[in-house]
Amino acid sequence: MSKSLTNQQAMRYNRHIVLPKVDLDGQEALLNANICIIGIGGLGTAAATNLCASGVGSLTLIDHDTVEATNLPRQTLFSEQDVGTSKVEAAKARLTAINSDCDITVMAEPFSAPSSTQLSPELKQTIERADVVLDCTDNTNSRDLINLLCFKLNTPLVSGAAIRFEGQLFVAIPGESRCYACLRTLFESPDLSCVEAGILSPVVNIIGTYQAMLAMQVLMDFDNIPKNTLMTFDALSHEWRNWKLPKGVDCELCAC
């Protein structure tokens, strides 16, 4: 059964509600949404903070790592006191303090497996129940697996990545757009991490925040979602660019 905004919530989110593209219906769509965030690093903490504060009703956070001191410059949801503790548990505590109305579920396990058939049933069910999935991971194996499951389970996916001074975003909505595998077919790249290549802290927060905004727009059924488009950000030139995927991409997954 769908929830309605209380008077207190309507006052809290008034700056959203007065926007014609949001209104009460849009804010209630957020209230009734279940968003799954996979990877609670720089991207995931930025996305989770914005989604929780913006009034999303339910968040599921998936990550098996613990907080390290080297995370703190870019994973701004954590503090020095969190070092050595579970990322998802630390994130849940901080997010609950931001918005106690947000129902937060945590799963402290890796999102990885040789194939989708070997992934735990709990992780599959989490993807299936989600209204939107945010891929905030940092390796291609996880990204491929997340895309495969989202496509098979008909779940919209917002993928983000950031390294050095650059970031990228891609939205895949099954039945309406191409999948992330189409993009990977065109732009195969080395599986580098921020440990080897480095990352400017604000860049990862910019991309994670943008993932949150795109997820909210998908939930509120905005008509200008950038489908079939790779969005890139360059912090050195201060440029955003959109790259349309060409037709006829030979994708084995979605056959686009």
pLDDT tens digits, 116-138 = 566 788 888 999 999 999 999 98
Neighbouring residues of 35: CB distance < 8 A, sequence distance ≥ 6: 51, 56, 58, 59, 60, 130, 131, 132, 133, 134, 215, 219
Using CB atoms within 10 Å of the CB of residue 178, give its burial: 0 to 12 exposed, 13 to 18 middle, 19+ buried: buried
Q: Encoding tokens for residue 203?
A: 């860049």
For 3-139, where are the alpha helices, taking DSSP H only?
A: 7-12, 14-17, 23-31, 42-53, 87-98, 121-129
Band the pLDDT of 185: cuts 50, 70, 90: confident
- Average pLDDT (131-147) is 93
Looking at the predicted structure, is the pLDDT value of residue 188 above 70? Answer: no
Q: Give the pLDDT of residue 111.
A: 80
Q: Encoding tokens for residue 222?
A: 């905005």
Closest CA to 95 of 123, 110, 76, 114: 76
Separation CA 203–CA 205 (nearest Å): 5
- Average pLDDT (15-41) is 97
User: For a pLDDT cut of 70, what percent of the chain falls above it?
Assistant: 93
The residue extents of the domains of the chain are 15-244
Using CB atoms within 10 Å of the CB of residue 112, give its burial: 0 to 12 exposed, 13 to 18 middle, 19+ buried: middle
Q: Give the pLDDT of residue 250.
A: 77
The predicted-structure confidence for 201-249, as pLDDT tens digits, reads as follows 999 999 999 999 999 999 999 999 999 999 999 999 999 999 998 877 7
The predicted-structure confidence for 96-105, as pLDDT tens digits, reads as follows 999 999 999 9
Separation CA 9–CA 91 (nearest Å): 23
Separation CA 157–CA 215 (nearest Å): 8
Q: Give the pLDDT of residue 104.
A: 98
Closest CA to 107 of 78, 153, 55, 64: 64
Separation CA 41–CA 52 (nearest Å): 16
Signed CA dihedral, 129, 100, 216, 45: sign only:
negative
Compute the mean pLDDT over every residue in the chain, rounded to the nearest whole number: 92
Q: What's the pTM?
A: 0.95
Query: Under CATH, which number does the domain 15-244 receive?
Result: 3.40.50.720
Looking at the predicted structure, is the pLDDT value of residue 90 above 60? Answer: yes
Q: Give the pLDDT of residue 17.
A: 98
Q: Encoding tokens for residue 199?
A: 């990352």
Amino acid at 114: P
**Cβ atoms of 245 and 230 closer than 8 Å:** yes
Q: Give the pLDDT of residue 116.
A: 58
